């Protein structure tokens, strides 16, 4: 069993016992990840989070009683709140977009390779957002733009440039390199645009950028 201050504590939530068992085996084999608990439905999530105090909740987006979207809302309302990584079977799952709107920090396909699953947990635990730009673009394409919600935010020209690059999945370092800025300057721009948009993190900012039409999906 992994232990220590640098170990990522994970709560696994899925209605299928076999899936939970498989996730526990995969993540438990990692020296820096510990599965601290399981739940079989979103209704069990608040109690399980309170009991296990995970760093990351690995959450099936589709469950029969309380789904991953409602569970995500309950998780992110906590203070402090663990990070949320939702799982889906289908790449074009509309529930994923709803989960990201609700505050999930990323999503992962259930058919992902074991090493990709472990890395996704680490990325989200470190405070980064896990986005797959192509998948987000496809989801956005399937939904008509919901009006230019970013117009009232009054982003500066530079903040707009940063947001467009965020929407392609670039990290702060990559954005800094492309715009010839320091990483701290990029972090400042990201923080400012999150505040103007009224969103929790870069995941929600990217979703808003696509939904508003500020960033156009490449067809």
Categorize the per-residue pLDDT at 200 as very low, low, confident or very high, splitting at 50, 70 and 90.
confident
Chain-centre distance of CA 69, in angstroms? 12
Higher model confidence: residue 169 or residue 103? Answer: 103
Q: Are 47 and 73 in contact (CB under 8 A)?
A: no
% of the chain residues with pLDDT over 90 = 37
* Digit-coded pLDDT (tens) for 50-69: 999 999 999 988 888 888 88
Q: Are 47 and 53 in contact (CB under 8 A)?
A: no
Q: Are 42 and 73 in contact (CB under 8 A)?
A: no
Q: How far apart are CA 121 and CA 110, in angstroms?
A: 13
Categorize the per-residue pLDDT at 133 as very low, low, confident or very high, splitting at 50, 70 and 90.
low
Average pLDDT, the chain: 84
What integer is the mean pLDDT of 6-20? 93
Q: Are 83 and 58 in contact (CB under 8 A)?
A: no
Q: Are 58 and 84 in contact (CB under 8 A)?
A: no
Categorize the per-residue pLDDT at 18 as very low, low, confident or very high, splitting at 50, 70 and 90.
very high
Please state the pTM of the whole predicted model.
0.76
Tokens of 119: 């890395």
Per-residue pLDDT at 123 exceeds 60: yes
Higher model confidence: residue 79 or residue 132? Answer: 79
Main-chain phi, psi angles of 13, to 5 degrees: -125, 115
Beta bridge partners of 37: 11
Per-residue pLDDT at 145 exceeds 80: no
Q: Are 167 and 209 in contact (CB under 8 A)?
A: yes
Q: Please, what is the end-to-end C-alpha distance for the chain in angstroms?
A: 46
* Digit-coded pLDDT (tens) for 174-186: 999 999 999 999 9
């Amino acid at each position: 069993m992994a232990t220590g201050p640098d170990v990522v504590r994970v709560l696994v939530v899925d209605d299928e016992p076999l899936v939970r068992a498989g996730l526990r085996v995969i993540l438990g084999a990692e020296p820096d990840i510990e599965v601290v608990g399981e739940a079989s439905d979103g209704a069990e999530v608040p109690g399980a989070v309170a009991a296990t105090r995970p760093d990351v909740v690995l959450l099936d987006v589709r469950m029969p009683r309380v789904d991953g979207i409602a569970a995500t809302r309950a998780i992110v309302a906590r203070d402090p709140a663990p990070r949320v990584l939702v799982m889906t079977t289908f790449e074009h799952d509309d529930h994923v977009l709803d989960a990201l709107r609700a505050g999930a920090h990323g999503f992962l396909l259930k058919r992902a390779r074991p090493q990709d699953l472990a890395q996704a947990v680490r990325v989200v635990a470190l405070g980064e957002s896990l986005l797959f730009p192509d998948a987000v673009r496809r989801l956005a394409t399937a939904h008509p733009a919901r009006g230019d919600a970013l117009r009232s935010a009054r982003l500066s020209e530079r903040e707009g440039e940063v947001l467009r690059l965020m929407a392609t999945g670039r990290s702060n370092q990559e954005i800094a390199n492309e715009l010839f800025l320091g990483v701290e300057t990029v972090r400042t721009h990201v923080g400012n645009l999150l505040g103007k948009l009224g969103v929790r993190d870069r995941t929600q900012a990217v979703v808003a950028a696509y939904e508003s039409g500020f960033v156009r999906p490449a067809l």
